[in-house]
Amino acid sequence: MKEKYLKLLAFTFFASGVWDTIAGFLYIFCIGTGRSIDNPPMDPFYAIFLGSFFLCFAYLQFFSSFNIKRYAFNVGCLIFGRLFYVGQLYAFMIFVPDFPTTFWFTGIIDTVFTLLYIYFAVKSRIGLKKLFLPEREIVNL
């Protein structure tokens, strides 16, 4: 049963990598001043900068998903990152006047991924230490 949830965690991690790849391309080619989405306005440099981070996250997720037990720490990092992002996004949408509501869909998708990470990690019995503290490998030279 534990292995089933590890596979589901790996699949979810891979799927969120697909989502981050889409976000990366959207930021690089569609979001920013002078592009098709410019509300809120963003200088093209920052849009490309953010897009490159999304592509890096996607890369980590794709390759970590092939050995999810070993790279569980990456899942923990994404839990923190997505929680921070979703919290910040919802705060802006609720408290900043005229912030575009078009970002609700990304908040919902990232919330679902975060909840799935947590659920599958708990069900597969990956401990908090493995999720949030990197393992130290002893190497004899």
Rounded Cα distance, 25 and 20, in Å: 9
pLDDT confidence bin for 65, thresholds 50/70/90: very high
pTM value?
A: 0.85
**What are the angstrom distances between the C-alpha of 86 and each of 31, 45, 69, 72?**
19, 23, 26, 21
Average pLDDT over residues 56-64: 94
Within-domain flag for 123: yes
Residue 83 lies in a domain: yes
Residue 6 lies in a domain: yes
Alpha-carbon span 62 to 131, nearest angstrom: 17
Residue 63 structural domain = 2-131
The number of distinct structural domains making up the chain is 1
Note whether residue 60 is domain-resident: yes
Q: What angle do CA 13, 19, 24 make, to 5 degrees?
A: 120
CB 79, CB 38: distance < 8 Å? no
Confidence at residue 53, expressed as pLDDT on a 0 to 100 scale: 92
* Average pLDDT rounded to a whole number, residues 53-70: 93
- 137 domain residue, yes or no: no
pLDDT surpasses 70 at 40: no
